[in-house]
Amino acid sequence: MHIRIEDTVEVLTGDERGSRGRVLRVDHSTGKVLVEGVNRVYKHVRRSQRNPQGGRLSREMPVFLSNVMLVCQECDVATRTGVRTDNDGSKHRYCKKCGKAIGQIAPPKNR
């Protein structure tokens, strides 16, 4: 899984192609990610004690990981990422376009 919580991703397919959001949740069992503001659905709710106004609630639905791509903050485009290992054994993702590291994914190894 190359996407992690707090990443910024871009949607590649569907009605919301091109829109971006922050990853709120990653579900490894379904291969889906929840992205802030993406794939919003509206739920109509009746007036209740908890929700005296009633009306519409919006919430995001998870999208398949394969439909989003990580955005490189440096190039400002959705990019493919690679993984490289540093001398200390720690692993980083990096942008395949500009080569900039995008977050550590494994801590340094103790020797």
If one asks whether residue 92 binds Zn ion (CB under 5 A), the answer comes out as: no
Residue 82 CA to residue 34 CA, distance in Å, equals 22
Q: Can you spell out the DSSP letters for 29-47?
A: TTTEEEETTSSEEEEEE--
Cβ-proximal residues to 87 (8 Å cutoff; 6+ apart), any chain: none
> Least distance (Å) from Zn ion to the CB of residue 111?
31
Contact positions with Zn ion (CB under 5 A) in 5-64: none
Cβ closest to Zn ion, residue 83 vs residue 98: 98
Cβ-proximal residues to 70 (8 Å cutoff; 6+ apart), any chain: 2, 3, 7, 8, 9, 78, 79, 81, 93, 102
> Least distance (Å) from Zn ion to the CB of residue 74?
4
Cβ closest to Zn ion, residue 36 vs residue 74: 74
Q: Choose the stretch contacting Zn ion; rule: CB under 5 A; options: 8-16, 48-56, 61-69, 90-98.
A: 90-98
Candidate list 4, 75, 90, 92; residue touching Zn ion; CB under 5 A? 75
Q: Which residues bind Zn ion (CB under 5 A)?
A: 72, 74-75, 95, 97-98
